[in-house]
Amino acid sequence: MPLLRRQPHVLCPQPLGLKSGEDVFVVRATGEVFRSYELYLKQINAYRTKQWQCRYTGRTGLTYEEAVEEEQRALELLKKFPLELEGPCLQVVHHSLLRLDELVNTLYEKYGKAAGG
């Protein structure tokens, strides 16, 4: 779930007592249901603003849908990461005082070939 103001976004709860055939407004990206068109529009506009953040990459300035896509890409990349390198890489990261770009280069030089890089 994308972050909003550095907090996980909580979807609006389903309205109580929905009747079959009742006119409602559904947010396509989240499946949230609204009886009020005004509340629906307010939520849609919030999802379209570039205020969202990917919880995995930290990338900011995204719409809600862009943040969801970014999270899905990050999870796909994570699935490809070799489990046998997870522990050694985390030890290097945990004890490192390097800048992020230097840390990435160090990890790649040390483990890149083992990971198929």
- The answer to whether position 117 is within a domain reads no
Structural domain that includes position 34: 3-78
Q: Is the pLDDT of residue 117 over 60?
A: no
**From 24-28, 51-55, 92-96, the region with the lowest mean pLDDT:** 92-96
| Position 111 confidence tier, pLDDT thresholds 50, 70, 90 | confident
The arithmetic mean of pLDDT across residues 101-111, rounded, is 91
Q: For residues 44 and 68, state if they share a domain.
A: yes
Name the β-bridge partners of 62: 52
What is the C-alpha to C-alpha distance for residues 17 and 1, in angstroms, rounded to an integer?
27
The answer to whether residues 66 and 9 belong to one domain is yes
Does 92 lie in the same domain as 44? no
pTM: 0.78
How many domains in the chain? 2
CA distances from 16 to 8, 10, 13, 29, 76 (A): 24, 17, 9, 21, 36
- What's the confidence (pLDDT) of residue 112? 81
Identify whether residues 38 and 85 lie together within a single domain. Answer: no
Both 11 and 40 in a single domain? yes
